[in-house]
Structure 1
């Protein structure tokens, strides 16, 4: 699927399917078909395969081919089944147009075209559009991190301020913490790859003499670095809450085990009395006493109550 955009005033406008690709300033390719790849090759734009985009080596993600610069980042988004995932996105910058190649659906690629003219860079040229799109991506990553922070606030309130949750609720807290940990990992990966791409873009920008773009690029690098620090803070907070939840589970299990042990111990004296009078010997004292059963029952009840009072006095219950 291919979407082509051109500059119209201060905004981006989508081209009609019949319009030639050569008129587009930005071409967004989603899960490209072979025909679309061939059409881009006719414009002199090399389209990396998904395997090349998924390679972790810098030489496969950040490189130049003649006057064309290829920058690949890893961003969170949705797959075809609308499940959260991460995937590579390639930014191909030539002198005349920007081409993005992706195989999943990050949200910024849907929202950026509608307000591209409102970005800090505008959409006057290829590099302006690229930095505007990166700005949208960074803002989206920041929103995700803020959402993780709100979730941790909610779980923290449930752990520390409300009555102590039961083990079933704590298991739900651990699952929530696990989901947020995965989210932070995806966002951290996206921030690292965006930072690398911006650094490479800034170096290659030196020969163009565009001071405003250099300043914007440096500002975005600082934003990405501050978000990386914030993600590390959230990771530490997540680890703390996970430890607290695990500690509460261990305390609850220890308390249950202690109660069971005390209750079992409380019935040891009555069991001893019953065992003594249950021995099969004919000369047991009091065996023929008319009130023997009553006496043995009283002894068993008294020993159990005495053990219970002792355990309460020792604060074991």
Structure 2
């Protein structure tokens, strides 16, 4: 998919597919077809492949190619099937237009065109569009962290409810929820780290632009936001560990209760079982074999030892 935007009344407007890309200030390539890639290449812009984008070596993700900045960040998004993933997004910032290349769907790329005019940087230049898009991405990462924090709070609250120990499925569901939120936090943390590198690289090179000095306060604000969110992500990671410990602790208590009940039941029936085993040996030399009241005696003895064991356990507060 190729979406191209141009400036119109200080806003970003979508260019119809039948029109050319010469007036575009932002070209967004999402899982592009070869002919779409070729249309952008014809503008003199080199489009990286997915293999180039996922290259781990940092020099291949952040570099200056003639008069264009190539910056790749790992951002959370979703696949066409709706599965959450973390994938590479390449920002190609040239003198006259911004090109973004991605093979998954982070939400800011869909929401930014309608909000671009309300961003702190505006849309008056390509650099401002880039910083506005970064602002939208940071806001989305902040929303993901805040949502994860709310889910963890509710999950931990459910774990510590009195009825949680009597509901194994609730504790299992709590562990599954904590695991999912942990994955979200990890993807956001990776996105923040890569964004921090992108902003640092842009900061080192943005003096080449005429609008660079006026954009420095906005850039520094974005960098401070990223650092604050990184601290928030670290805090939530700690919350995840504590939440897992809490859920596992409740599961251990539940298992201890089950083992205690089984142990008490075994203890109650142990003396009667011993008596029944003794009188069930049937040796020729046993004097009770011909006793008229032997059966009643054995039953009474088993009942007495059962009651005596029960009273002993109650006296010890083991029941």
> 5 Å matches for 1:78-93?
78-93=78-93
> 5 Å matches for 1:28-107?
28-107=28-107
- The answer for the alignment partner of 2:2 in structure 1 is 2
Q: Which sections of structure 2, spanning at least 5 residues, go unmatched?
A: none
Deviation sequence 1:264-283 (CA, Å, 0-9, x none): 12211111211221222344
CA distance in 1, matches of 2:309, 2:161: 36
1:299 pairs with 2:266: no
CA contact (8 A) 2:4 2:14 kept: yes
CA distance in 1, matches of 2:82, 2:174: 24
CA distance in 1, matches of 2:88, 2:117: 26
1:137 pairs with 2:146: no
- The answer for the alignment partner of 1:214 in structure 2 is 216
CA distance in 2, matches of 1:160, 1:277: 50
Closer/same/farther in 2, CA of residues 162 and 25 from structure 1, 3 Å limit: farther
CA distance in 1, matches of 2:30, 2:317: 67
- The answer for the alignment partner of 1:289 in structure 2 is 291
1:128 pairs with 2:141: no
TM-score by length of 2: 0.96
Q: How many residues align?
A: 317
TM-score by length of 1: 0.97
Cα RMSD for the two superposed structures: 1.3
Q: Which sections of structure 1, spanning at least 5 residues, go unmatched?
A: none
> 5 Å matches for 1:252-267?
252-267=254-269
Closer/same/farther in 2, CA of residues 254 and 33 from structure 1, 3 Å limit: same
1:118 pairs with 2:90: no
Displacement over 6 Å in runs of 4+: none
Shift of 1:263: 1.2
CA distance in 1, matches of 2:129, 2:188: 23
Deviation sequence 1:170-215 (CA, Å, 0-9, x none): 1111111111111111111111111110111111112335322111
CA contact (8 A) 2:54 2:88 kept: yes
Q: Which moved more, 1:117-126 or 1:279-288?
A: 279-288
CA distance in 1, matches of 2:98, 2:80: 24
Secondary structure of the 1:69 match is strand
CA distance in 2, matches of 1:274, 1:143: 68
CA distance in 2, matches of 1:98, 1:286: 101
Shift of 1:251: 1.6
CA contact (8 A) 2:71 2:90 kept: yes
CA distance in 2, matches of 1:10, 1:109: 18
1:160 pairs with 2:135: no
CA distance in 1, matches of 2:290, 2:159: 61
CA distance in 2, matches of 1:87, 1:129: 22
